[in-house]
């Protein structure tokens, strides 16, 4: 696969994200955004396209034509009591009585509307789908600490037992800190009593190729962070999972990347589309991935599971069901890919839809 992509310098640069290795300019969150990229046609999976044109093939269980990888980053659940108390004191001190009045009733209830994993799982199940949930496993003093993973033990074990994946949502500095990465992975594994396979970093912070190296070293099966925060599409031209090529070492890495194509915030906030335009764009990328028999990874945060954004998510599930897509989480796709993956021409792909 790499030999074929290497033949076209521009595609090879896109596939390896050469510009990100060479340029150090980043946005306010330390990310490489789409607006800084010289590859403008982000909704065309150019690398995947070349592979398919040259006879590469892939197949999915039961002849399903393509896959929708459904994922949820759990950034917030509720605020622990001491933080709620602190916020009330702070609001009163600042004279913000309405905010204090809003928080006080929450003191009695641990649960907040974002504590909705079971509802999400039930919804997906009704469409024949399942998904991955990535949880933060931060300590109280960490930046972006929003919940104690210990408090969610019952919920996450239940998700796992029902067949939904529990993966790690790395904290805001985890993508470049091997010790943190290992500590967070072990923290989550202790609660789950199982190995964690999947990773996505908070705010989609990612450094090419360093983050892949760290994930490989920490023993992750796959990552699914590689998508642009400010535009939907295919950041390295792939609409299939792939083994990243490390330009610094000249070798293919062990960790699998299941590239992220669509994040709720990107589509519904950053791109400033109305709901009809957003669906048109969504349908366009779904169609593209379907045509290439690829995998489209969708990130829907648990706090976006309300109102119109919930309806939008349901529409994605409907689309997938109507087109016979394999709708599942990252671990299942990565495990399948390990054995089956993209195969060069004449490599014994038999089935098909
Ligand atoms: Zn996050």
How remote is the CA of residue 148 from the centroid of ligand 1, in Å? 15
Q: Where are the beta strands (DSSP E) in 99-212?
A: 132-135, 165-170, 198-201
| Same domain? 135 vs 219 | yes
How remote is the CA of residue 74 from the centroid of ligand 1, in Å? 6
| Same domain? 217 vs 298 | yes
Confidence of residue 351 (pLDDT cuts 50, 70, 90): very low
| Same domain? 118 vs 140 | yes
Pairing of the two strands 165-170 and 132-135: parallel
The string over 61-96, giving b where at least 16 C-beta atoms fall within 10 Å of a residue's C-beta and e elsewhere, is eeebbbbbbbbbbbbbbbbbeeebeebbeebeeeee
pLDDT in tens, 27-74: 988 899 999 999 999 999 999 999 999 999 999 999 999 999 999 999
- pLDDT, residue 347, reads 76
| Same domain? 105 vs 175 | no
How remote is the CA of residue 73 from the centroid of ligand 1, in Å? 5
How remote is the CA of residue 353 from the centroid of ligand 1, in Å? 36
Give the residues across from 151 on adjacent strands.
Answer: none
| Same domain? 220 vs 249 | yes
pLDDT in tens, 86-124: 667 777 887 877 767 766 665 555 555 567 899 999 999
The string over 221-257, giving b where at least 16 C-beta atoms fall within 10 Å of a residue's C-beta and e elsewhere, is bbbbbbbbbbbbbbbbbbbbbbbbbbbeeeeebebbb
How remote is the CA of residue 93 from the centroid of ligand 1, in Å? 30
- Return d(Cα 275, Cα 277) in angstroms, integer: 6
Tell me whether residue 135 is in a domain. yes
How remote is the CA of residue 180 from the centroid of ligand 1, in Å? 16
How remote is the CA of residue 321 from the centroid of ligand 1, in Å? 27
How remote is the CA of residue 36 from the centroid of ligand 1, in Å? 22
What CATH number does the domain containing 274 carry?
3.20.20.370
- Return d(Cα 261, Cα 271) in angstroms, integer: 14
Which residue segment(s) compose the domain that 106 sits in?
81-111
How remote is the CA of residue 158 from the centroid of ligand 1, in Å? 22
| Same domain? 142 vs 89 | no
| 8 Å CB contact between 156 and 133 | yes
Residue among 75, 100, 95 at smallest CA distance from 85:
100
| Same domain? 107 vs 199 | no
How remote is the CA of residue 79 from the centroid of ligand 1, in Å? 16
How remote is the CA of residue 75 from the centroid of ligand 1, in Å? 5
State yes or no: pLDDT of 80 exceeds 90.
no
How distant, in Å, are the alpha carbons of 179, 182, 200, 342 from that of 334? 25, 21, 14, 12
State yes or no: pLDDT of 353 exceeds 90.
no
How remote is the CA of residue 202 from the centroid of ligand 1, in Å? 4
How remote is the CA of residue 26 from the centroid of ligand 1, in Å? 18
| Same domain? 55 vs 90 | no
Overall size of the chain counted in residues:
353
Tell me whether residue 347 is in a domain. no
Number of structural domains in the chain: 2
How remote is the CA of residue 77 from the centroid of ligand 1, in Å? 12
How remote is the CA of residue 283 from the centroid of ligand 1, in Å? 25
| Same domain? 250 vs 295 | yes
How remote is the CA of residue 136 from the centroid of ligand 1, in Å? 8
How remote is the CA of residue 217 from the centroid of ligand 1, in Å? 22
- pLDDT, residue 79, reads 54
pLDDT in tens, 254-310: 999 999 999 999 998 888 899 999 999 999 999 999 999 999 999 999 989 989 999
| Same domain? 320 vs 261 | yes
Compute the Cα dihedral for 205, 211, 217, 219 and give only its sign.
positive
How remote is the CA of residue 263 from the centroid of ligand 1, in Å? 11
- Return d(Cα 155, Cα 148) in angstroms, integer: 12
| Same domain? 273 vs 292 | yes
| Same domain? 9 vs 133 | yes
How remote is the CA of residue 276 from the centroid of ligand 1, in Å? 26
How remote is the CA of residue 329 from the centroid of ligand 1, in Å? 17
């Amino acid at each position: 696969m790499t030999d074929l992509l290497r033949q076209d310098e521009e595609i090879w640069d896109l596939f390896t994200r050469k510009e990100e290795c060479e340029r150090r300019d980043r946005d306010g969150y330390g990310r490489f955004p789409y607006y800084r990229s010289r590859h403008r046609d982000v909704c065309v999976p150019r690398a995947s396209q070349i592979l398919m044109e040259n006879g590469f093939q892939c197949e999915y269980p039961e002849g399903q034509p393509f896959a929708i990888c459904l994922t949820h980053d759990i950034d917030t659940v509720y605020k622990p009591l001491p933080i709620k108390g602190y916020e009330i004191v702070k609001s009163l001190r600042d004279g913000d009585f309405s905010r204090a009045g809003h928080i006080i009733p929450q003191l009695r209830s641990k649960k907040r509307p974002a504590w909705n994993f079971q509802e999400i799982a039930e919804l997906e199940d009704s469409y024949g789908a399942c998904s991955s949930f990535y949880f933060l496993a931060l300590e109280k003093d960490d930046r972006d600490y929003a919940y104690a993973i210990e408090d969610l033990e019952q919920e996450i074990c239940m998700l796992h037992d029902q067949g939904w994946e529990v993966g790690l949502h790395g904290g805001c500095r985890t993508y470049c800190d091997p010790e943190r990465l290992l500590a967070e992975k072990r923290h989550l594994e202790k609660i789950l009593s199982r190995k964690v396979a999947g990773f996505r970093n908070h705010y989609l912070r990612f450094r090419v190729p360093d983050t892949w190296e760290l994930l490989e070293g920490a023993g992750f099966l796959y990552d699914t962070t590689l998508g642009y925060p400010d535009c939907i599409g295919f950041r390295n031209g792939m609409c299939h999972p792939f083994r990243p090529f490390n330009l610094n070492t000249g070798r293919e890495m062990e960790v699998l990347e299941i590239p992220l194509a669509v994040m709720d915030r990107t589509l519904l906030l950053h791109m400033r589309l109305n709901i009809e335009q957003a669906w048109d764009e969504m349908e366009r990328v779904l169609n593209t991935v379907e045509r290439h028999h690829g995998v489209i990874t969708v990130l829907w945060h648990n706090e976006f599971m309300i109102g119109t954004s919930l309806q939008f998510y349901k529409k994605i599930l409907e689309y997938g069901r109507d087109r016979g897509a394999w709708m599942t989480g990252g671990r299942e796709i990565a495990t399948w890919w390990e054995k089956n993956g993209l195969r060069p021409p004449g490599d014994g792909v038999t089935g098909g839809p």
